[in-house]
Amino acid sequence: MAGERAHGRAAGLPAAGEPAIIGRDAEVERLARLVRVGAGVPRNGDLREAGVSRGGVLIVVGEPGAGKSTLLDDAARRAAHAGHHVLRATGRESERDLAFAGLHQLLRPVLDQADALPERQRRALLGAFGFEDAPDVQDVQDAPEPLLTGLAVLTLLSRLAGQAPVLLVVDDAHWIDPASAGVLSFVAWRLDDDPVTLLLAVRDDEPLAEFEHTFPAITLPPLDDAAARRLLGLRAPELPAGIRDRVLTEAAGNPLALLELAKAAQSRDPGDHDPGPLPVGERLAAGYAAQVAELPEACRRTLLLLAAAVVAAPPDAVLALLPDAGDNAWITLERAGLITRAGRWARFRHPLIRSAVYQSAPFDARSQAHRALADILGDEPDRRAWHLAAATPYPDAEVSAALERTADRARRRGGYAAAAKALARAAELSPVPGDGTRLLVEAAGLAVLTGRLAWVEELAERVRARTDDPAVLAAATLRVGRLTALSRRHNAVFAELIGIAGEPAVTDPATALGALVAAAVLRFYSGDESQRREIDRILPRLPADPLREWVRMVADPFGAGRRLVPRLPDMIIAARDHPERLTALAVAAWIMDETALAVRTFDEAVRSWRARGPIPDGMGGVAALAYFEYGRWAQAREVCADIGALAAGKLDHAAACVLAADAMVLAAQGDTAEARTLAERALRLVDPLESRSVAVNARRATAAAAAAEGDYESAYEQYRTLFDRDGDPVHYHASYPALPELAAAAARTGRHTEAAEIVERSARVLAEGGSARLRALVERSRALLAGPEQAERAFLAALAEPALEHRPFEQAQTRLEYAEWLRRRRRIAEARPHLAAAHDVFARLDARPWAERARAELRAAGTEVTVPDAAGLAELSPQQRQIVRLAARGLTNREIGERLFLSPRTVGSHLYRVFPKLGVTTRAQLRDVVDAGGVPRN
């Protein structure tokens, strides 16, 4: 904000010996250090030293006038002086509804390099800006590829960074359009290996949802008394002491308020003894309005047109409405300190000035300005439509239709927030009530894709206020329910879904089935048995449909759902062209313990996620659990990182799902501190009674961490919470797999009786409807708690179950526990093969506590095991492992980058760093590393 740029300067220059920015030494140094570190492609230690936790990203937060723009300007000046590429954009309130407007402003100086991008990326980027025609979109599955647009930006920045470090500066980021903010967030998560730094400034009362609680931020506090006095002394040295103290008091440390109040005090009539407060905050805006009111008519009209247009470089059409460059109006406005100019470029010195100009003008004058702008923007239909909307207070079919066309263009480019806003405004202006309601329902459907639950609820409420049509109300409620499933308040939404499913079950089966699908998801989260009964009450009234069978499997896997398992493969084949259905069927396969089928289906679905980039699905956290059970732990963590990055700060339940799953993997690998941290974060994000599935998984992770440290008392206490006082599971699906872990902790703490009762109670429930895998886990649990006569039979029954072949960790645990039982009975020769097999699996999975336990048993059995070098695949990050696997298959850096949404430079940087860790010097050797699952031997 230009007004902030005056902060700390006297006549444009600092006084001798004074810093350029008064009172912000620490902040100036932090930004300068970040730019320096970013230019050197920071490593983790450098980032910690710079006070940054993720890549080269920092958010500067503060109230208007706190000095955010001044700090960004200083950082940009330093970077430009050092030879960096500096790309800048400023959010504008009037452009929040124009998809990718902010991104275009940021990248406009370098768009000539887009031709060097891979063709799909080039088309995605230019299509987002409307430079290439977007395809017609008839179905959400055919929607544009937002992540591909993000990848194009990432690749473009990486190319620039190959020439010189890049600094991205986004001022007033709280006003950036959501589509641009989404791309910047995508890029920000992937800056670790490119010399690219991103600085954003936001107001403290308008957080940027895509970055909130995710990236490091500094909040600018008010200036302390000494700094405020120093600044005031530089800018208003002649101010009388009494007025000086009043200005200092009322400015409350805000640099802009300090300077503006000093300026106002200097110009006051000496005889004016008004005891009221000086203008500050809203009163400061009122002061600007009073200043504007005293200007000539031509100046007021010019300011109002600028306020309504608000573009950095007004096109010729807009300039035609404004005075000529040499007109006295410009001189008057500059002398008044209201605008700054550079040639044909003009902007308000502070957003408060624009606000004061616009809000103080009568509606008729604002309407006239917007209509004038609309009339000359015929070649920019989106801007024209919004100007017409701003000028139209009453329903108008023509303006409504123009906004609907704007929404369609935004939707084709992947600007879902802009499209939803345009449809919502079109609904307000539609003279036909039915059309207005339809537009609101469509707006709610697109708003779902933004992940902003409060907005979807607001749109649904507006639908309810317009109509009592059951079908329309049901459609609106379904949209809210879909997104609420990824957030909180599951029980309340479940009741609404059941309510709308009950009546239309006969008259509108499709609506009823859609409601029950969403209700089944909530039933899975909550584990509430009464919810299953509600679903069972309505489901038989619906006609046969694959979705009806899906509801049965998810809501009742040990009852009616179990009989449907043989149909799953055919259902999955039929859903190949529908990614959302694939995901749903993969979830069903996992719930039914068809793990291999679930993983194959998730593989296909995950490829689709990465190609299309839909919102994170809370059930998508199940993919991580499936990969975990299947022994693909690195992939499980990659899925957690992908979904977690999209859900962070917006969709609490979706984030909690992947946090809990990630915690389970880390606990099994022995990273106990981090596992506890993630589990605690997951529990803070949900209500444990409404999200029992998350609570159970988080507590399993905490218990496994305790067991890995040898604290079996704490482990048992945590495992015991997964079953209620009577021994029934807290969650109908998530609790049962913990039975062996409960039994193992009980055996080490002398709680055999209580644990055995829980195991046998579970065995009775699972005898008929349970999967073969769960019955094997029951046998393993019995073996751990049984006497010598029964234990071996139970161990052998568990090991004989083929279902464990698709769950290597569970099978290796069973082998190890049986081998320990054998060795204690001095049957060492029989124990050794089981110990060796178990150790190999644990080493491959990097399950360190279990591998160490297996090695100890092998040594006790007379077999020495060589511990692999630490510099192996196990030490790489999940992303690095994935890069190595793809490189081992012969993919180029560019091809790997397209798959993983990374820049080729980042891929190359990772490979450069991992080669020494893996003991290889060429890409050709990577295949041997991957095949061996560790370090190649000489």
Quick: pLDDT tens for 74-94: 999 999 988 899 999 998 877
How confident is the model at residue 136, as a pLDDT?
47
DSSP state of 206: S
Q: For 864, phi and psi rounded to 5 degrees?
A: -85, 140
**Residue 80: half-sphere exposure toward Cβ, Cα within 13 Å:** 11
Q: Could you tell me how far CA 487 lies from the centroid of its own chain? A: 13
pLDDT at 934 over 50: no
Q: pLDDT confidence of 134, banded at 50, 70, 90?
A: low
pLDDT at 124 over 90: no
Chain length of the chain: 938
Q: What value does the mean pLDDT take over residues 722-739?
A: 95
How confident is the model at residue 240, as a pLDDT?
73
How confident is the model at residue 325, as a pLDDT?
75
pLDDT at 612 over 60: no
How confident is the model at residue 873, as a pLDDT?
67
How confident is the model at residue 936, as a pLDDT?
37
Q: How far apart are CA 660 and CA 742, in angstroms?
A: 18
Q: What value does the mean pLDDT take over residues 397-415?
A: 89
Q: pLDDT confidence of 599, banded at 50, 70, 90?
A: very high
Q: Is pLDDT larger for residue 676 or for residue 489?
A: 676
* Residue 572 structure tokens: 């999955």
* Residue 754 structure tokens: 């209580």
In this structure, are strands 85-90 and 166-171 parallel, antiparallel, or unpaired?
Answer: parallel
Report the 10 Å Cβ neighbour count for 116: 11
Angle of helix 621-630 relative to helix 579-591, nearest 10 degrees? 50
Predicted model pTM: 0.65
Q: How far apart are CA 316 and CA 321, in angstroms?
A: 9
Q: pLDDT confidence of 283, banded at 50, 70, 90?
A: low
DSSP 3-state of 846:
coil
Q: How far apart are CA 514 and CA 501, in angstroms?
A: 8
Q: How far apart are CA 779 and CA 793, in angstroms?
A: 9
Spelled out in words, what is the top-level CATH class assigned to the domain 873-932? mainly alpha
Sheet holding 57-62, edge to edge: 85-90, 166-171, 196-203, 57-62, 217-219
Fold of the domain built from segment(s) 615-709: 1.25.40
Spelled out in words, what is the top-level CATH class assigned to the domain 295-362? mainly alpha
* Residue 369 structure tokens: 């300005």
**Residue 197: half-sphere exposure toward Cβ, Cα within 13 Å:** 32
pLDDT at 928 over 70: no
* Residue 528 structure tokens: 């509430």
Q: pLDDT confidence of 887, banded at 50, 70, 90?
A: confident
pLDDT at 269 over 70: no
Lowest mean pLDDT among 245-254, 260-269, 428-437, 692-701: 260-269
User: How far, in Å, are 553, 571, 584, 588 from residue 546 at the CA level?
Assistant: 11, 7, 11, 12
How confident is the model at residue 235, as a pLDDT?
83
Q: Which of 621, 614, 615 is nearest to 591 (CA)?
A: 621
Q: How far apart are CA 91 and CA 380, in angstroms?
A: 19
Q: How far apart are CA 739 and CA 741, in angstroms?
A: 5
Q: Is pLDDT larger for residue 214 or for residue 528?
A: 528
Q: Is pLDDT larger for residue 171 or for residue 905?
A: 171
pLDDT at 178 over 90: no
Q: Which of 754, 756, 778 is nearest to 765 (CA)?
A: 778
Q: What is the mean pLDDT of the chain?
A: 82
* Residue 372 structure tokens: 């004038």
How confident is the model at residue 17, as a pLDDT?
42
Q: Position of tokens 């607001």?
A: 458
Q: What value does the mean pLDDT take over residues 598-603?
A: 90
Assigned CATH for 377-454? 1.25.40
DSSP 3-state of 524:
helix
Pick the most confident of 641-650, 867-876, 909-918, 925-934: 909-918
pLDDT at 214 over 80: no
Q: Which of 781, 728, 788, 789 is nearest to 756 (CA)?
A: 781
Q: Which of 209, 278, 256, 283 is nearest to 350 (CA)?
A: 256
User: By percentage, how much of the chain surpasses pLDDT 70?
Assistant: 84
pLDDT at 648 over 80: no
pLDDT at 759 over 60: yes
pLDDT at 140 over 60: no
Pick the most confident of 87-101, 287-301, 612-626, 775-789: 775-789
Q: How far apart are CA 61 and CA 211, in angstroms?
A: 12
Dihedral, 360, 362, 366, 371 alpha carbons, nearest 10: -170
217 DSSP β-pair partners: 59
pLDDT at 476 over 90: no
Q: Is pLDDT larger for residue 510 or for residue 334?
A: 334
User: By percentage, how much of the chain surpasses pLDDT 90?
Assistant: 32
Asked whether 589 and 598 are in contact (CB, 8 A), the reply is yes
Q: What value does the mean pLDDT take over residues 759-776?
A: 92
pLDDT at 272 over 50: no
Q: For 170, phi and psi rounded to 5 degrees?
A: -120, 105
Architecture of domain 2-219: 3-Layer(aba) Sandwich (3.40)
Q: What value does the mean pLDDT take over residues 191-219?
A: 81
Lowest mean pLDDT among 572-576, 668-672, 867-871: 867-871
